[in-house]
Chain A
Amino acid sequence: MKRQKTDSLDRQLSYRFKKALGDDGRGDWFDVRERAGMSRTLWHWSQRRVLLVAGVLVLVVGAAGASTGLIPWLNRKPVDVKTPSLAPPCRAENLWVRLRYQTSLNGLDGSLSLVNTGHHACSLVGRPTLTLVDPPVIKPRLFAKFTPAVPSEPGSVDLVPLGLLRAVPPHRAAFLTFLWKNWCESGPAPAGLELRLPSGDLVVRSFADSRPPANGLPPLYHSTVPRCFRKNWQTGLYYEGFYPGWTPASVISKYQIDSTAPLRVSIITRGLPTVRKRRSNGRYYTYVRVRRGAVFHYQVGLRNTSKRPFRFKRCPLYAESIAGLASNPPTKDVFVLNCRPVGAIAPGEIAAFAMEALVPDYAPLGWNVMTWNLYLRETAGVFKSVWIVP
């Protein structure tokens, strides 16, 4: 799809509108089909999909008991996490705060984690206030900008929605991030941070010099003062609203999110249509060929890299994307892995899963990338170069 050239004002307006209007809802395509009077019985499926399912069933029956047969694709999306009821607001005396920061090219990049040390859940909704303090004289020159926390990107799984902040359980943490940049003043720099809860409660002050740090906070030191970017700009403190910093129990009990699972992922290319193309360096490369706007069928292998048989306790999630970066924002599809028929994967064995991915009709022709990631396992992702044809 042709896009107009965008300037920085365009990008900022687009960002600001999305932030103001974004939320974390999720669609239901089957509901759309039913409203349109299209039932979801087998008879309404495409012939190709019926054949695929039938073929896969034959394979599964034939390979009953074996862990290495082709596991059929499961069209199941993860379930949204429910938003809890609103708990009483968190109070300063029931919060333990940790400050982390580092200097970067942009300035001083940091985060404040707030752990609920009370016996009951409490809420952290609303707008906190973060200020630079000591000395306070710089206030007229300080540009402080707050932006609300942003719901997860469209298309991504929201296993930790912002709504969880309505009830932060005991011993769980929420956090906010901040960036202090562009210090161009000649006088003494602010040596401390002050955080107030949405209720106005003062939670912490962090100071560099003589006073002891409050609430276990390390002080800010003068060496951390950000460099001067632009002399005629104010110094800026940018911070966002709180984000939940824990994985809800409902997610842990529903999906396998154990990042130590001994699985190595591969995209199985054997048998897939390919195309040979010459690159600018004069060498020829072979790419997997995919068709724009069509469903691409492929397989993913999970190899047990341990010396013991591996069994899924619960089915994990995975994200797949073809030419996802060509859209704005980038898109990916998330499904539940069909792990139930797998049984045990013997050491060194590979369990092969049938996969389906919709190649977007906006995908640019030619070279592109498909990605496949086991959700919450950063090391378990793979990508493959593909060649998109009309």
Chain B
Amino acid sequence: MDRQTRTIEDVYRRRYQSFRGALAGIVGSYELAHDVVQESFARALKSRADFRGDGPLEAWIWKIALRVAFEMRGQASQVELADAFEPELPQPERDEELAAVLKELSPRRRLVVFLRYVADLDYREIARVCEISEGTVAATLAQAKAALAASLDCSNPGPRELREAAE
């Protein structure tokens, strides 16, 4: 097994859940999201020689995954990610408030928030995926956070958070 394959496998093994959870937000179901993850990593394996190593590997795979997710929704893969990001999840019954607030953000802010808090990417990786500068990522995220903080009740932590904080 070559080193690149092993590294892709490592990303898959560590981050499968993140990919599936985030992609479910785009395609609308966990079953479809699983398919998107499998297909995305398969494409990453097939085209691993194309990865030039000029950025984080995970960001490169995320970009493939977002394209696959868009294809699965029937959208053209050439469409600008930052202009067309319309997540299907979270479903209101899981978190009504969050679903509503997310809908009010612009597609670009929504995508950046999604990549930051659901996909756990850092600014550099988000910049790679969205093809924007790190400064733009930081500014977009700051605006989105301000909007989210104003609309969500983030003042009181939940029991799990409290327990985690106490540990």
Contacts and interface: CB of A to CB of B under 8 A. Distances in A.
A14 interface: yes
B17 A15 contact: no
Contacts of A148: 94
Interface in B4-24: 5-7, 9-10, 12-18, 20-22, 24
B149 interface: yes
B117 interface: yes
A32 B95 contact: no
Interface stretch (A162-170, A213-221, A234-242, A280-288): A234-242
A111 B24 CA distance: 32
Nearest to B148: A13
A17 B101 CA distance: 12
Given A27-B37, A37-B46, A293-B7, A16 B21 contact: no
A360 B9 contact: no
Contacts of B17: 22, 25, 154-155
Contacts of B25: 21
A376 interface: no
Interface in A166-216: 177-179, 181
Contact of B42 (A12, A19, A36, A293): A36
Contacts of B163: 106
Contacts of A23: 20-21, 24, 30
Given A1-B122, A23-B20, A13 B117 contact: yes
Contacts, number: 159
Given A23-B24, A143-B156, A293-B7, A36 B12 contact: no
B12 A16 contact: no
B152 A16 contact: yes
Contacts of A36: 41-43, 45-46
Interface of B: 1, 3, 5-7, 9-10, 12-18, 20-22, 24-25, 30, 33-34, 37-39, 41-43, 45-46, 56, 58, 89-90, 94-95, 98-99, 113-114, 116-118, 120, 122-124, 145, 148-149, 152, 154-163, 166
18 contacts: A4-B123, A10-B117, A14-B117, A16-B152, A17-B90, A18-B117, A20-B98, A25-B34, A29-B12, A32-B42, A33-B42, A35-B38, A46-B1, A106-B166, A145-B158, A148-B94, A155-B13, A293-B10
Interface of A: 1-4, 9-23, 25-29, 31-33, 35-38, 44-46, 49, 105-106, 143, 145, 147-148, 150, 154-155, 177-179, 181, 233, 236, 238-240, 293-295, 327-328, 331, 333, 358, 360-362
Given A29-B13, A45-B1, A148-B94, 14 more contacts: A9-B154, A10-B145, A14-B117, A16-B95, A20-B98, A21-B89, A27-B38, A33-B45, A37-B46, A105-B166, A233-B155, A293-B7, A328-B120, A333-B13
